[in-house]
Amino acid sequence: MSPADLDPEFAALLAAAASAPADVAECAPLSGGTYNSLLRVVLQDGRRYVLKRPPAADRGSTLRYEHDLLRGETEYYRAARDLRGVPVPRLIHVESDADRSVVTGLVMTECPGVPWHQADASLEPGERARLRARLGGVVARLHTATGPEFGYPARPFGPPAADWPSTFAAMTAAVLNDAVRYGVRLPRPAERVREVFTAAGDVLADVTRPALVHFDLWQGNLLLDGAPGARFLSGVVDAERMFWGDPVADLVSLALFGDIERDDDFLTGYAEAGGDATFTDSVRLRLHLYRCYLYLIMLVEVVPRRFSREQRAWTRRHAGRCLEESLDAAESALGGRP
């Protein structure tokens, strides 16, 4: 894309950050995301920015929790910016609408490197182990940040609840209602899934501090930079799904479709940086619940985001299987409680 072809809305966002289209040396859309629009911009003086805008208001249907996602991403980067050794983008400009009720655009620094999954196959076992331990330390430091209240910063479900059980109940109810609204075929009926969440709700009372949770820490949102054998974690990005809640929830996407308890390197780094890596009965049951929540989001979002037939089949195969396994695990844990 030529700088002369810069979209007017992105040009206006760039201008608000004190840079004119004439300052742009290169620009190109970024792929990989399925919700917001992203543009990489390189300025004549070498500065590298990522510009981000939400979908157009006339795009159509979304999930309930997806209201004003850029507000949450803004809050995530601001909460993380002063944490030692945490590589997140630096916000250059945050654009809000006239009444400041919705964040309509971000300009942030570009973190260097490539998504982890693009480099993973070329990592030597020792390098991978070192990077996973490093990631554990970074996530532990992120989890030290404490929010003003539980839930999504944009408050998509109304006034915030006073505690984590009530907050998570609203989150799960919303995605299950979305599943019904969009006619999504789940591995089990929505009401049966709802019963599992309700039966396990008391264990959520063990969470009393609203910690910073990214909730989308799969390899595509983790950047690596450096030469082979000397790579380092260079970016934690795309914090659109963030919320304030139980840090255990981040362990789901860190081992997407897998089991974080098998990731000794990550857990060692997490514990050494002060994170609690003890898997009690409470932690394991909560982890099952958060897996269910993420896999539900993945299954439901394919409809409003208009995924292809192949993408839908892949999601049903993987997220559907993991949802069923997580529901079974939660029920088993519930059945074994005194």
CA dist list (Å): 279 to 76, 270, 273: 26, 13, 17
Q: What is the pLDDT of residue 287?
A: 98
Q: Give the strand order in the sheet containing 24-29.
A: 24-29, 37-43, 48-53, 103-109, 91-96
222: nearest Cα among 233, 211, 210 = 233
DSSP 185-229: --SS-HHHHHHHHHHTGGGGGG--S-EEE-S--SGGGEEEESSTT
- The pairing of beta strand 222-225 with beta strand 91-96: unpaired
pLDDT band at residue 2 under the 50/70/90 scheme: low
pLDDT band at residue 310 under the 50/70/90 scheme: very high
pLDDT tens, 131-176? 999 999 999 999 999 999 999 999 999 999 999 999 999 999 999 9
Report the SS3 class of residue 26: strand
Q: What is the pLDDT of residue 35?
A: 72
pLDDT tens, 51-90? 999 876 545 568 999 999 999 999 999 999 989 999 999 9
Sign of CA dihedral 266, 267, 273, 276: positive
CB atoms within 10 A of CB 272: 13
Query: Is residue 58 a contact partner of residue 76, using CB atoms and an 8 Å limit?
Result: no
Buried b (16+ CB within 10 A) or exposed e, 257-266: eeebeebebb
Q: What is the pLDDT of residue 58?
A: 45
Q: Angle formed by the axes of helices 125-142 and 264-272, to 10°?
A: 40
- Assigned token pair, 280: 């009690």
- The pairing of beta strand 91-96 with beta strand 232-236: unpaired
C-alpha 49, offset from chain centre:
20
pLDDT tens, 182-223? 999 999 999 999 999 999 989 999 999 999 999 999 999 999
pLDDT tens, 233-271? 999 999 999 999 999 999 999 999 999 999 999 999 999
143: nearest Cα among 13, 254, 258 = 254
Please enumerate in sequence order all residues whose Cβ is within 8 A of that of 148, keeping only pairs 6 or more positions apart, or say none.
Answer: 210, 244
Cα–Cα distance, 252 to 260 (Å, whole number)? 7
Query: Is residue 315 a contact partner of residue 307, using CB atoms and an 8 Å limit?
Result: yes
CB atoms within 10 A of CB 44: 12
319: nearest Cα among 251, 255, 257, 252 = 257
- Angle among Cα 314, 321, 301 to the nearest 5 degrees reads 55
